[in-house]
């Protein structure tokens, strides 16, 4: 079923990203657009891949694994962007490029151990719950430095940056304070904890506010409904 075409959406989003990047307060070498394919039909995703989408983000391990299988012969870079249970970590470590949702010590340990068994380092983002919402996962702002210190030495982890999912807003500008806060936290962690190997990335911004996120320094944006259309389930 051809709704509003994914190809068209993709090209529009790419232009918006380029524009936002050029006008950003920060010099961003590259902004990675992750197409969030959770709960989307395979034909819609297929159209995205044909149009040039190559990073896909999934929230649920079962669905991720199934789609990895479906699209096994295509060039897809996978991202885990949903809450991850420790007992399912073995299904994603070493198979996704980045896990965006590291939010507790036990999970950090599990991911690190699994990565070491595979002789790799797993790229991870620390998820920060900037607005302290009960409904959201992530380390609180108060605890993030302590958490970072504890997991910094885990040899199977390559901690690449911070991720956040701010509250739903009706006006994109309302997300700005959360995005700038995440950037400030990253810079503080780099000044105090990650002295030798800096956290480079910020995974922030979705369909509702990715341009504002880029203005505030996002390096990875996660765009679902604006690219693939409304989710089916």
Q: Using the rule CB under 6 A, is 165 a contact of ligand PLP?
A: yes
- Map tokens 């790229």 to a residue: 123
Strands 201-203 and 55-58: unpaired
User: What is the distance between the alpha carbons of residues 41 and 94, in angstroms, rounded to a whole number?
Assistant: 25
Residue 38 or 194 with smaller CB distance to ligand PLP: 38
Residues 70-89 within binding reach of ligand PLP (CB under 6 A): 81-82
Secondary structure in 3-state letters for 47-105 = HHHHHCCCEEEECCHHHHHHHHHHCCCCCCEEEECCCCCHHHHHHCCCCCCEEEEECCH
Question: Measured at CB, which residue is nearest to ligand PLP?
Answer: 224
Taking the complex as a whole, how short is the minimal distance between the CB of residue 59 and ligand PLP, in angstroms? 5
> At 129, phi and psi to the nearest 5?
-95, 80
Give me the phi and psi of 7, to 5 degrees please: -60, -45
Nearer to ligand PLP, 39 or 193 (CB): 39
CA 89 to chain centre: 16
> Taking CB under 6 A as the rule, does residue 40 contact ligand PLP?
no
Q: Residues 211, 42, 99, CA angle at the centre, nearest 5°?
A: 55
| Residue 82 or 156 having the CB closest to ligand PLP | 82
Q: Does 174 bind ligand PLP (CB under 6 A)?
A: no
Does the protein bind ligand PLP through residue 182 (CB under 6 A)?
no
Part of the chain binding ligand PLP (CB under 6 A), chosen from 72-80, 152-160, 192-200, 205-213: 205-213
- Looking at beta carbons only, is 141 or 169 nearer to ligand PLP? 169
Binding site for ligand PLP (CB under 6 A): 36, 38, 59, 81-82, 165, 206-208, 222-226
């Amino acid at each position: 079923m051809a709704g509003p075409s994914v190809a068209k959406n993709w090209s529009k989003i790419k232009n918006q990203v380029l524009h936002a990047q050029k006008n950003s307060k920060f010099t961003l070498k590259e902004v990675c657009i992750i197409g969030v394919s959770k709960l989307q039909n395979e034909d819609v995703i297929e159209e995205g891949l044909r149009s040039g989408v190559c990073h896909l983000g999934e929230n649920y391990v079962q669905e991720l694994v199934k789609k990895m299988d479906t699209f096994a012969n295509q060039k897809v870079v996978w991202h885990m962007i949903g809450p991850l249970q420790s007992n399912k970590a073995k299904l994603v470590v070493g198979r996704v490029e980045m896990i965006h949702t590291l939010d507790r010590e036990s999970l950090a340990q599990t991911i690190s151990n699994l990565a070491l068994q595979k002789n790799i380092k797993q790229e991870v983002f620390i998820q920060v719950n900037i607005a302290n919402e009960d409904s959201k996962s992530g380390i609180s702002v108060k605890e993030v430095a302590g958490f970072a210190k504890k997991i910094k030495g885990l040899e199977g982890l390559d901690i690449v940056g911070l991720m956040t999912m701010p509250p739903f807003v009706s006006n994109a500008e309302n997300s700005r304070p959360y995005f700038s806060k995440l950037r400030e936290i990253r810079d503080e962690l780099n000044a105090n904890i990650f002295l030798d190997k800096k956290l480079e990335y910020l995974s922030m911004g979705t369909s509702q506010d990715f341009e504002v996120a880029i203005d505030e320094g996002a390096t990875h944006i996660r765009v679902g409904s604006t690219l693939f259309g409304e989710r089916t389930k």
